[in-house]
Structure 1
Amino acid sequence: MPHQGFPRCCRLLNAGDYRFVFEQADFKVHGKGMMALARWNTLGHPRLGLIVSKKNVKLAVDRNCFKRLVRESARLRQDQLPAVDIVVLARRGVQDMENDVVYRQLHGMWKRLRRDAQSASAPPEGSIRNA
């Protein structure tokens, strides 16, 4: 059975990690009510960061619920994801979606990200960051 935890090494922890992804994302994957940006890393495993603004999701309970769903979805599929740093951004209207719809959207986004990374096969020079 693969490792199913979600330790600190699997998360984007500081502003520099997020900036690295935003400066030049290698992949952009859209879902209804969300978007994921990703950039290659040399760690051998994916890392996840979340951005859920008050402007887009008003209630704290909705923001926290969305973040839990994204973390759980990524945790369960981390062995299938490529070695990239991923930032998931929530958009307006995501709080109005049912949890199972959000989960299906995330599943589709992970599949597209994996497919795009496989078709790219090798990261471009200078786009990889060591942590």
Structure 2
Amino acid sequence: MKALTFPKSSRLLKPADYGKVFDDVQIRVPHRNFLILATPNTLGHARIGLVFSKKNLKHAVQRNRVKRRVRETFRHQTEYPALDIVVLGRRGLTELDNPTLNATLTELWSRLRKKNRQLQTSSSSEHTGNGKGTG
């Protein structure tokens, strides 16, 4: 069984880590209540950062509940690609109950993996070239 911990190595800790994702977004997974931004990293494992503003979630209790759900679903998923991921909250999150929140996040994680596979296959086909080159 996978250890269900959330170590520092799985988190974006520094503003520069967040800045790297915001400056070089390669994968976007939009949803009515969330926006997931991601960019590949060289660490060999996924890291996650959370951004939930007071504007969208007025009370700390609400922000903390949603952040706990995001972290929990992230930990339970397996086989993440080496990505730096930022999860942004949008309006309307307070109306979602925990089972709905979990189902939404599980679907978003699978969409993220699918988009990453598409990105990897498109970038690998670009590197193979089309037979035209120097020489």
Give the deviation of 1:122 after TM superposition. Answer: 6.2
Give the deviation of 1:14 after TM superposition. Answer: 1.0
Q: 1:80 to 1:117 in 2, by over 3 A?
A: same
Q: Given residue 16 of structure 1, which amino acid in structure 2 is its aligned partner?
A: A
| Partner Cα distance (1:102, 1:32) in 2 | 12
| Partner Cα distance (1:33, 1:57) in 2 | 11
Give the deviation of 1:117 after TM superposition. Answer: 0.8
Secondary structure at 2:53 match in 1: coil
Unaligned runs of 5+ in 2: 124-135
Cα pair 1:10 1:48 within 8 Å, conserved: yes
- Highest Rg: 1 or 2? 2
Give the deviation of 1:2 after TM superposition. Answer: 3.0
Identity across matched positions, percent: 42
Unaligned runs of 5+ in 1: 125-131
Question: Normalised by the size of structure 1, how large is the TM-score?
Answer: 0.88
Q: Which has the higher contact order (CA 8 A, sep 6+)?
A: 1
Question: Normalised by the size of structure 2, how large is the TM-score?
Answer: 0.86
The list of structure 1 runs, each at least 4 consecutive aligned residues, that deviate by more than 3 angstroms after superposition, is none
Q: 1:11 to 1:45 in 2, by over 3 A?
A: same
Q: Aligned residue pairs: how many?
A: 123
Give the deviation of 1:44 after TM superposition. Answer: 0.9
Match of 1:89 in 2: 88
Structure holding more helix per residue = 2
Give me the CA root mean square deviation: 1.5
